[in-house]
Chains A and B, each alone.
Chain A
C-alpha cells in the first residue's frame, strides 16, 4: 500500500480540487484529509460519516480557584505567558491565578510545581475525527477544534487510521490532502510517505514556496513531483517554476490551464473530472496518469 501526499507550500493553489479529481480517477483509494484545521475536501466528496471519535492530543492546565493560595509559583514557571493573576477570590485570598486555555501550551509544569495541588491537568478535547464513505471510496478526516494545538498529532492519527482502512479493505493507495506551509502538520503528513505531489502556480510566491516545500521533502527523503496549476496565467513564470523544480531534482508531471470550470465544479460539489471533460479537466487527467505511473514504479516494498 502506498501513500501519495498532495502539498503546495503556498495555500490556495488547488490541492483539494486536485485530490477530489484524483479520488474520482483512482477509483479505489482511501482519502485522508490531513488539512485538519481548515478541511475542505468533504465539501466536494460529501462523506457519509460511519464512525466519529474524539481526539485529545494533550492536556491543559486549570487552576481550581478554591484551592489556590495565590503563591504565584505557576506564573513563575510558565514560559508561555498563559498565567494571569485575575482569577476569582476565595476565603483565603482576594484574587487567584488563572490559566488562559488558549495560551496554555499543555506542558503541565505549573501543575507539577503547585504545592497546593490546586492545578488540574486533564486531557483536553482538541477535536474530532471521522471514518466515512464517499462515492469514490472510504475517507478518514478530522476537525481540529478552533484555536487548538496538536494539529500534527491529529494528522498522524488520520494517516494511521486511513492506512488501517486501506489494509482492512485491501486497497493499494491512500491519497492525502495536505495543509499549506512546511511546519508541524505538513511534516506529520509526509514523514514516511511514498510520494509527494506539489501543486504550485506560476507566481513569484508560488516559485518561492515551491523551493521551501521541495527542500522539506528532500530533507525527509521523499520522492517529489510538481505540477503547475493555472500555468497560462503567466507562461514565462510557469517555465521558470519548472526550471527551478528541475534544479531541485523534482520532476514536472504536468500543467493545468486556468479554467473557470475549476471553481464551477467546486460550487457544484463535484470533482473537476466529473464536471468537465476538456480544458483543465483533461490536464488533470494527464497529471494523474503521470502520478499513478510513478506510483506504480515505486515498488511495493519501498522501505526495504
Chain B
C-alpha cells in the first residue's frame, strides 16, 4: 500500500506525519519504505537519520545538435513548445533549463542531426533507517523542473507492505507527480484561515485525481477555522487531530520525531495508522 502525505499549504506537518507514521508502522512489525518526494526541500532525513548506501544521478534528456548534419530547416524549433531549441540565423541554440525532455525535436529532425544526451538535474539517494527503507530525491540548485526527480524516487520504491510518500506543498505538477497512483492520500492541515483555504484546494486536487483520502488536523485547538465541520459536511474522514503542543514544535526543531521524543505520541500516531488502515480497509 502506498500512502502519500500532502497538504496544499507548506509547513502544516507533512514530514511530521510521514516520518512518525513510517516509524510506528515499522515498530508495529510492518515492512515500511519512506520516500521523500519533496525534492526541492527534502527534510525527512533529518528525522529518520538514514544510512545512505547508494547515490545515483537523475538526468533529463536534452538535445545535442550535430552542426555537420544540420540543414538549418528549423523543424526542431517548430515542434518545441517550450522554446528550448530554436534556429537563429545559421545556428541552432539549445536552452537546457527550458527543455521538458519530450524528444520531439530528435523525432522530427529530417537530417538525423539531433541526439539526446542526459543532463543531470538531481540525485537519488537510497538507504535505510533501521528497518525502514529510505529513498529521497534532491533537486540540484537552480534547476526548475522537479517532476523527473520525483518520478525517479517513485520508480525506486522498494517493494514493501507500506510505502509512505512525503509530497511537496502546493497543488500543481510536482504534487500531482508525487501523489498519483497512491492508494490513499493523507492531507495535513491546520485550523487557521491559510491552512483551511489551502486544504480546500488540496481536496479539489485529490478529487480530480480520484484518490481516496482523509484529513489530519495539526495544531488542533487553534480556533481559526472550522475544519471539522467542513470535513463532516464533505464526508471526509478526520483521521487524527494533533494538538497545538509547544513540546512537539520543540522536538521538531531538534530533528526528533514526536513518537520518539514524547511517548504519548507513539500511541497517537499508532492510532492514526489504525484509522488509515480502517479508512483503507486494511493493508493489501
List chain A positions with a Cβ less than 8 A from chain B: 8-13, 16, 37-38, 40, 43-44, 58-59, 77, 79-80, 102-103, 105-109, 112-113, 144, 146-149, 151-152, 179-188, 201-205, 208-209, 212, 215-216, 219-220, 230, 233-234, 237, 263, 266-267, 269
**Which residues of B, 167-215, contact A by the 8 Å Cβ criterion?**
168-174, 176, 180, 192-194, 197-198, 201, 204-205, 208-209
Which residues of chain B come closer than 8 Å to A151, judged between CB atoms? Answer: 170, 172-173
Which residues of chain B come closer than 8 Å to A201, judged between CB atoms? Answer: 253
* Contact, CB under 8 Å: B169 / A233: no
21 residue pairs of the A-B complex, CB under 8 angstroms, read: A10-B41, A11-B10, A11-B11, A37-B171, A77-B103, A77-B107, A105-B102, A107-B81, A109-B102, A147-B205, A149-B172, A149-B173, A180-B170, A182-B141, A183-B143, A204-B254, A209-B41, A212-B141, A233-B246, A266-B192, A267-B193
Knowing that A109-B102, A109-B103 touch, tell me 12 more A-B residue pairs with CB under 8 angstroms: A12-B9, A16-B194, A109-B107, A146-B208, A180-B40, A181-B174, A188-B144, A201-B253, A203-B253, A219-B142, A266-B193, A269-B193
Q: How far is the CB of A98 from chain B (nearest CB, A)?
A: 15
What residue in chain A is nearest B15 (Cβ atoms)? A205
Which residues of chain B come closer than 8 Å to A146, judged between CB atoms? Answer: 171, 201, 204-205, 208
Expressed in whole angstroms, the Cα–Cα distance for A8 and B43 within the complex equals 14
* Contact, CB under 8 Å: A10 / B10: yes
Say yes or no: is B127 at the interface (Cβ < 8 Å to chain A).
no
Say yes or no: is B222 at the interface (Cβ < 8 Å to chain A).
yes
| Closest 9 pairs (CB-CB, A-B) | A11-B10, A12-B11, A107-B102, A181-B40, A184-B144, A204-B255, A267-B224, A180-B10, A203-B253
* Contact, CB under 8 Å: B104 / A38: no
* Contact, CB under 8 Å: A147 / B10: no
Q: Quick one: given A16-B194, A107-B81, are A182 and B103 in contact (CB under 8 Å)?
A: no
What residue in chain B is nearest A43 (Cβ atoms)? B193
* Contact, CB under 8 Å: A40 / B9: yes
Expressed in whole angstroms, the Cα–Cα distance for A230 and B204 within the complex equals 32
* Contact, CB under 8 Å: A59 / B208: no
* Contact, CB under 8 Å: B172 / A263: no
Which residues of chain B come closer than 8 Å to A79, judged between CB atoms? Answer: 101-103
* Contact, CB under 8 Å: A209 / B43: yes
Say yes or no: is B245 at the interface (Cβ < 8 Å to chain A).
no
Say yes or no: is B146 at the interface (Cβ < 8 Å to chain A).
yes
Which residues of chain B come closer than 8 Å to A80, judged between CB atoms? Answer: 102
Which residues of chain B come closer than 8 Å to A8, judged between CB atoms? Answer: 10
* Contact, CB under 8 Å: A144 / B144: no
Q: How far is the CB of B152 from chain A (nearest CB, A)?
A: 14
The proximity string for B residues 249-266 relative to A, scoring 1 for CB distances below 8 Å and 0 otherwise, is 110111100000000000
Expressed in whole angstroms, the Cα–Cα distance for A240 and B255 within the complex equals 14
Q: How far is the CB of A294 from chain B (nearest CB, A)?
A: 23
Which residues of chain B come closer than 8 Å to A202, judged between CB atoms? Answer: 253
Expressed in whole angstroms, the Cα–Cα distance for A121 and B81 within the complex equals 11
* Contact, CB under 8 Å: A10 / B170: no
Q: Tell which of A152, A187, A216, A263 has the most Cβ of chain B within 10 Å.
A: A263
Q: Quick one: given A38-B171, A108-B104, A183-B145, are A12 and B12 in contact (CB under 8 Å)?
A: yes
Say yes or no: is B108 at the interface (Cβ < 8 Å to chain A).
yes
Which residues of chain B come closer than 8 Å to A58, judged between CB atoms? Answer: 81
Partner of A107, one of B43, B100, B145, B201: B100
The proximity string for B residues 221-264 relative to A, scoring 1 for CB distances below 8 Å and 0 otherwise, is 01111000000000000000000001001101111000000000
Partner of A182, one of B41, B104, B107, B194: B41
Which residues of chain B come closer than 8 Å to A209, judged between CB atoms? Answer: 41, 43
* Contact, CB under 8 Å: B145 / A184: yes
Which residues of chain B come closer than 8 Å to A216, judged between CB atoms? Answer: 141-142
* Contact, CB under 8 Å: B253 / A233: yes
* Contact, CB under 8 Å: A37 / B144: no
Which residues of chain A come closer than 8 Å to B77, judged between CB atoms? Answer: none
* Contact, CB under 8 Å: B43 / A233: no
What residue in chain A is nearest B75 (Cβ atoms)? A112
Which residues of chain A come closer than 8 Å to B82, judged between CB atoms? Answer: 107
Which residues of chain A come closer than 8 Å to B144, judged between CB atoms? Answer: 152, 183-184, 187-188
Say yes or no: is B79 at the interface (Cβ < 8 Å to chain A).
yes
* Contact, CB under 8 Å: A40 / B194: yes
* Contact, CB under 8 Å: B81 / A40: no
What residue in chain B is nearest A106 (Cβ atoms)? B81
Q: Tell which of B194, B209, B246 has the most Cβ of chain A within 10 Å.
A: B194
Expressed in whole angstroms, the Cα–Cα distance for A186 and B79 within the complex equals 27
* Contact, CB under 8 Å: A38 / B79: no
Say yes or no: is B276 at the interface (Cβ < 8 Å to chain A).
no
Which residues of chain B come closer than 8 Å to A263, judged between CB atoms? Answer: 192, 222, 224
* Contact, CB under 8 Å: B141 / A38: no
* Contact, CB under 8 Å: A10 / B104: no
Say yes or no: is B46 at the interface (Cβ < 8 Å to chain A).
yes
Q: How far is the CB of A154 from chain B (nearest CB, A)?
A: 9
Q: How far is the CB of B137 from chain A (nearest CB, A)?
A: 12
Which residues of chain B come closer than 8 Å to A13, judged between CB atoms? Answer: 11
* Contact, CB under 8 Å: A237 / B253: yes
* Contact, CB under 8 Å: A113 / B107: yes
